[in-house]
Chains A and B, each alone.
Chain A
Amino acid sequence: MIRSIWMWPTVIAVSAIGVGLVVFGNVASPIRPVIAFWFLLICPGMAFVRLLRIQDNSNELTLAVALSLAIDSVLAIVMVYARLWSPKWGLGILIGISVLGAALQVITANRRILRLARRQ
């Protein structure tokens, strides 16, 4: 229970820090595309899909990927059409969204645990 509560928020937070470091630090390393790919594909979506408490793992992952790509795309489309193209700002927003979702996961999970403890 504890592991499942902390696992995704930790993964999302670590991924956000990792992608932030390599992009804002202008690190030209072969690991940069891998971290960027992982972060953009999974993290923004998983940060919020976990809040829906979907039982089936493959369905949860599919929705997380769909939501991640959708959030990334909406952000990119707004930047392109509004002529506000700034990939670093975009990444900053995505990191913020992911961290917010991860924090919400921890808060809601803790509330649930407290509620269960009170009932017992």
Chain B
Amino acid sequence: MGQFTDMNGNIRTNRDGLGQSGRAYAAQNRVSAVARRWPRITATFHASAESISSWMPVGGPLALVLCAMVLWSASLATINPRNITDYGLVSALPLLFYIALSLLTVSFCVVVHQRQVPAPVLFLHVVALIVMIHGTLALVYQAPRYSWTYKHIGVTSYIQSHGSIDPSIDDPYHHWAGFFALSALFNEIAGFDSAFSYAIWAQVFFNLLYLGALLLIFKSCTSDQRLIWLGVWFFYLTNWIGQDYFAPQAMTYFFHLVILGVCLTWFKVLASPSEHPVRRWPVLAPLAAWFQKIISHIAPNGAPDTVSRPIQRIGVMLIVVLSFFIIVSSHQLTPYMTIASVLVLVAFRRSSTRTLPILMGVLLMTWTTYMAIAYLSRHNIWYDSFGLLSSNVENSLTDVSRSSPGHTLAVFTTRALTALVWGLALLGGIRRLRKGYWDLSIALLALAPFPISALQSYGGEILFRIYLFSLPGMVFFAAALLYPSPDSGRSWRTTAVTVLASCVLLAGFSFAYYGQERMNRFTKNELDAAQYLYQTAPPGSLVLQATFNFPSRFQANYDQYQYPTLTELDLINKHNGTFNIDHIADYMDRHKYPAAYLILSRSQKEHAELMSLLPVGTLEKLEETAMRSEHFQLIFANADARIFTLADDANGAGK
């Protein structure tokens, strides 16, 4: 019986009488004999074996990503947007698409679990995910999604055409024009007439931008690569809000993330504050003592402290100030979110940028009182919902009592996904705390946007925006539920749970993000109709639509037309769908426009039906009635859109 010593130092025996060391010795002898006889072959074999063993941790996942991308590319040809039902794009996606996405998900979850995998491999997985979930729409659709995209294209074209904005136009985009000015400059330098050529790719572009900013934030909170990359992965699986299209919010969100990342990386407070400053306020003594207790308990979070030189801090602070200026000049809501986040970091001594919130406030007030005052004097958008917390939250919740089953599912999925992300984050935070990590900075970032809900309703969207701005913090803690510390989460069970969690989030994302594609997508036929309209309609004309969901306003002279909708004007009874075609004709004739047009399209019908604005079939009935009416004349028709004008206008009667 051979003996050998195991890893614990115990002497063990083998049944075959040859010890492990003896076996190894014999095997080495055999290899040496072969090596002596065929030295070149042996050397080549050794080199290949070493190469394969070093390649496997990287090459295997790369092969899987490539395979997933090939399958995804093959699936694109079989996607027909016309097959989209009430349940959204999910109903039109083939099995191959899901196989590709599943393969990528499994590969990522296995790779992120291994510590020795280089960051570029994880980066490649995330990029592949972004391309798959956002690039699919760009490749399959004929035109950009969302009707607002077209107005944003129009404002950009306006700047290209006029070289300036017009504050007298009652349009917020002429008062917060930063994003549009940048787009116009890019169009001119790139040689584009408008942003049409690339707006469809905005989702891919902005999500790629967010990747770097998210890494900046997460790296400041932990050095555990698994936690960083899983947080990033979860961000893309849970960002269902849809504010990543060609819009000011998409760009300002990037700057918001960068500002937070800079505050946490280069202005991180390394030492706990002394008690001296809080003792200055005797009135608030109990509160201050409690606050001090929390602060003093905060242990290091395991992230490497960035040693920054003064020149670096000055440089990055300049980037922060410039970035915030772009936020202020481009978007109404984001400055408040950024100030709230920076303020809590400073108040809780997580960032040393104490004067930054003041500077931000000054910039915001300056822009509001000088550059946007003309708009704000006409619209009381900030103060009408101030302090109405419950009303602001309720306004964000869609009434699904009359919705179709598909839309109801999409709405409930968004709610379930939101609750799931917040729930996972809470559990992850608790688990991380039990492991001794007080991630106060990231917890503050997750919670800072919530008080904004008491300040304004933001057109009934405040809850969505709060979810968006709290998401980086929330996904960090959701990922921490699986990898709470560098020592935990080593078993294969963690990988299995990560795959399961990713699949659940992906399923939720598919319904929440793609759930309203029936109305979000536009066809080339609808664009043709809009283009015909702008070629035909004289400036000052009335463009009456059934709902706002139509790809109009993309022309440089978009501001010269009126765009009321039948649903806003109550020209159709929303409950029973009844209308009087004579009243509609009267309205179009009453205001003595140079010309008046009624546009009915596929996307408007989908919108009215999906959002239960009108009973099913109302707009089809309106179309038939207009065709038969002596007041209207059909001047343009294709499979997806019809344009009517008043018969008098068409006959050249004039007004």
- Interfacial residues, chain A to chain B (CB-CB below 8 A): 19, 23, 28, 32-33, 36-37, 39-40, 48-49, 51-54, 56, 58-59, 61-63, 65-67, 69-77, 79-81, 83, 85-88, 90-91
Contacts and interface: CB of A to CB of B under 8 A. Distances in A.
Contacts of B316: 52, 63
Contacts, number: 130
Nearest to A75: B185
A115 B191 CA distance: 46
B182 A72 contact: yes
B325 A90 contact: no
Given A76-B185, A83-B163, A90-B189, 14 more contacts: A19-B189, A23-B191, A28-B191, A52-B316, A58-B216, A62-B212, A70-B325, A72-B185, A73-B182, A77-B178, A80-B181, A80-B184, A81-B177, A86-B163
Nearest to B214: A62
A85 B212 contact: no
Interface in B167-203: 177-179, 181-182, 184-186, 188-192, 197-198
A51 B164 CA distance: 34
Nearest to A30: B191
B251 A62 contact: no
B190 A33 contact: yes
Of A56, A63, A66, A80, chain B has the most CB atoms within 10 Å of the CB of: A66
Contacts of A36: 186, 189-191
A87 B188 contact: yes
22 contacts: A33-B190, A33-B191, A33-B197, A36-B189, A48-B315, A49-B315, A51-B311, A58-B119, A58-B212, A63-B316, A65-B209, A67-B322, A69-B254, A70-B325, A73-B182, A77-B177, A77-B182, A80-B164, A81-B371, A83-B164, A87-B189, A90-B189
A36 B192 CA distance: 11
A79 to B, nearest CB: 7
Given A80-B181, A81-B165, A87-B188, A69 B312 contact: no
Contacts of A49: 315, 319
Contacts of B261: 59, 62
Contacts of B198: 33
B114 to A, nearest CB: 20
Task: Summarize A's interface: helix, strand, loop or mixed.
Answer: helix
Nearest to B189: A36
B219 interface: yes
B319 A91 contact: no
Interface residues of B, number: 46
B159 interface: yes
B326 A74 contact: yes
Contacts of B188: 87-88
B265 interface: yes
A74 B325 contact: yes
Contacts of B258: 62-63, 66
B190 A59 contact: no
A66 B254 contact: yes
Contacts of A51: 311, 315
A66 to B, nearest CB: 4
Nearest to B165: A80
Interface in B273-322: 311-312, 315-316, 319, 322
B329 interface: yes
Name the residue in A69, A73, A81 with the highest tally of chain B Cβ atoms < 10 Å from its Cβ: A73
B264 to A, nearest CB: 11
Contact of A80 (B159, B189, B219, B319): B159
B194 to A, nearest CB: 13
A25 to B, nearest CB: 11
B189, B262, B329 pick with most chain A CB within 10 angstroms: B189
Contacts of B186: 36-37, 40, 72
Nearest to A35: B190
B315 A52 contact: yes
A85 B159 contact: yes
Contacts of B185: 40, 72, 75-76, 79, 87, 90
Contacts of B329: 73, 77
Nearest to A83: B164
Contacts of A70: 255, 319, 322-323, 325-326
Nearest to B312: A52
